[in-house]
Structure 1
Amino acid sequence: MPGEGSARELEGRVALVTGSARNIGRAIALALADGGAAVAVHARSSEAAAKSVVAEIEARGGRAAWFLAELTDPQAVRRLFDDVRGTFGRLDILVNNAASRADAPIERISLEEWRAITAGILDTAFLCCQAAIPLLAESGRGAIVSIGGVAAHCAIGGRSHVVAAKSGIAGLTRGLSVELADRNITVNIVSPGYINTKRDHIPPHFQDRKVPLGRPGEPEEIAAAVRFLCGPGARYVTGQAIQVAGGWA
């Protein structure tokens, strides 16, 4: 995987990273920019945070622009991709990172809450993939990487709606990897374990888990895996789920 000092293997490419104003999304945007890609930084409503990530990229010598969009709205998604193409002229990489999260026992999840979580995770990935495919096909070396979750591969409680949606992302990845292969678009998923991010509390399903490597991961470790899958060294890798979880799963 690329690391500090490696070549700018993504030079000339354009990446859209959804939900990239903070945490893992921010780290991915910075990593792809360090690899030479121009980056579309997306947020739902956090304009100041999105602008801050763009400023970080530009301070490191990269190129970026920020965009706001509600990704559960099909029209807003179409406008986002039109705006990205209008700004950069192309799209080569889509990283589906935007997601909704919540903790609740199954008995207390209302249908509305279930739909909100699954829409915020699975529907947004579907809509973004659908909008991105024509642009990625034009690229000739398109890449889709979705951020899943190790919870989709492990038995945990209190997040059944999140687990169901993240499992759906894994299924979408497998299906698209076959469907888009003839357009030279690779489709993979990176599944983080417990990552050091800004959060109000440690989710209950992490508190009793012992990670074999003995520590939480860092956003930059997720970003490194994503950068690899977007690069020229991973053009024969598709339909794969890579767990970056310290051996948890």
Structure 2
Amino acid sequence: MSETATSPDQPKTGEWALITGASRGIGAAIAQALAADGYGVLLNYRSNHEAASAVEAQIREAGGVAERLCFDVADATASGEAMTALVAGDKVVSVLVNNAGVSADTAFPAMEREAWERVLAPTLDGFYNVTRPLVMPMVRRRRGRIINISSVSGLIGNRGQVNYSAAKAGLIGATRSLARELAKRKITVNAVAPGLIDTDMSEDAPAEMIKHIPMRRMGTAEEVAKLVRFLASPDAAYITGQVIAIDGGLT
């Protein structure tokens, strides 16, 4: 299923940023931050039309440009159709933020294959499905920012998250390799690894987890968005292949 809401408005920069999983949490905060910098933002989401519409409305009310782009990044066919149409259109996508992901925590002996595949698909297949079509257009323009949202679970692991940690660690490996391939084309590829962030995904996190964070608090989606905003900016032109943890000192 796909749905695109169009707008006659053009972004101030003349360029667009595509954020996957942008209907809530970290993705929504990143979209709002990049819109504030003058990018038109493409809000990818899988099914929550109401939430995506709310983010779109907030960006437009603030004077930004936003459009919704509904497709499941884990679905190769749906992603292929959406990305082919996007690349063939008139939008110059210079920033890609691979943020879409889910968790399905359980002890590994009890983890069924469905839980394994459900977590790895949006992160790793989603990275491939969305990133690959945009790479050559970026190469031809010799400009681009690819920012992958990983996790501290991909750096240090976490009990009950073998699937999630594997997905996020795989994304880190992809980040470092792709950065080497694209550096001479002036395209940067970096990863952001959030720790415990106050979003819907962390609402069931045990309170004692905060005791292990040196800052003794959760981070906010807006703090993660500010880091992504920097990595997307001209000031970060010499930063590539890096994994930056934003976790209150946890790692």
TM-score normalised to structure 1 length: 0.90
C-alpha distance in 2 between matches for 1:147 and 1:195? 13
Of 98, 102, 106, which aligns to 2:104?
102
1:103 aligned counterpart, secondary structure: coil
Residue deviations 1:47-72, cap 9 Å, x none? Answer: 12111111111111111100100111
Deviation of the 1:112 alpha carbon: 2.6
Of 218, 238, 244, which aligns to 2:246?
244
Residue deviations 1:42-101, cap 9 Å, x none? Answer: 100111211111111111111110010011122211222234346652110100000021
Which deviates more from structure 2 when the two are superposed, residues 177-186 or residues 229-238? Answer: 177-186
User: Is 1:79 paired with 2:81?
Assistant: yes
Residues 19 and 155 (structure 1 numbering): CA distance in 2 closer, same or farther, change over 3 Å?
A: closer
Trace 1:1-249 onto structure 2 (pairs within 5 A).
11-85=13-87, 88-199=90-201, 201-203=203-205, 207=209, 209-249=211-251
**Matched-pair contact (CA < 8 Å) for 1:93–1:136:** no
C-alpha distance in 1 between matches for 2:133 and 2:211? 38
**Matched-pair contact (CA < 8 Å) for 1:92–1:139:** no
C-alpha distance in 2 between matches for 1:124 and 1:77? 8
**Matched-pair contact (CA < 8 Å) for 1:77–1:131:** no
**Matched-pair contact (CA < 8 Å) for 1:38–1:62:** yes
Q: Which amino acid aligns with 1:26?
A: A
Q: Which amino acid aligns with 2:179?
A: S
Paired positions, count: 240
1:92 aligned counterpart, secondary structure: strand
Residue deviations 1:127-177, cap 9 Å, x none? Answer: 211122122223322010000001111242100110011000000000000
C-alpha distance in 2 between matches for 1:159 and 1:245? 17
C-alpha distance in 2 between matches for 1:52 and 1:149? 26
C-alpha distance in 1 between matches for 2:203 and 2:144? 37
C-alpha distance in 2 between matches for 1:20 and 1:44? 9
C-alpha distance in 1 between matches for 2:32 and 2:208? 27
Which deviates more from structure 2 when the two are superposed, residues 123-132 or residues 228-237? Answer: 123-132
Structure 2: gaps spanning 5 or more residues:
1-11
TM-score normalised to structure 2 length: 0.90
Residues 208 and 247 (structure 1 numbering): CA distance in 2 closer, same or farther, change over 3 Å?
A: closer
Residues 209 and 81 (structure 1 numbering): CA distance in 2 closer, same or farther, change over 3 Å?
A: farther
2:193 aligned counterpart, secondary structure: strand
Deviation of the 1:31 alpha carbon: 0.2
C-alpha distance in 2 between matches for 1:119 and 1:47? 21
1:153 aligned counterpart, secondary structure: helix
Structure 1: gaps spanning 5 or more residues:
1-9
Structure 1 runs (4+) deviating above 4 angstroms are 85-88
**Matched-pair contact (CA < 8 Å) for 2:87–2:133:** no
RMSD: 1.8
C-alpha distance in 1 between matches for 2:55 and 2:89? 17
Residues 241 and 165 (structure 1 numbering): CA distance in 2 closer, same or farther, change over 3 Å?
A: same
Residues 197 and 233 (structure 1 numbering): CA distance in 2 closer, same or farther, change over 3 Å?
A: same
Deviation of the 1:205 alpha carbon: 9.8
C-alpha distance in 1 between matches for 2:158 and 2:30? 26
User: What is the aligned partner in structure 2 of residue 4 from structure 1?
Assistant: none
C-alpha distance in 1 between matches for 2:46 and 2:157? 30
Q: Which amino acid aligns with 1:123?
A: D
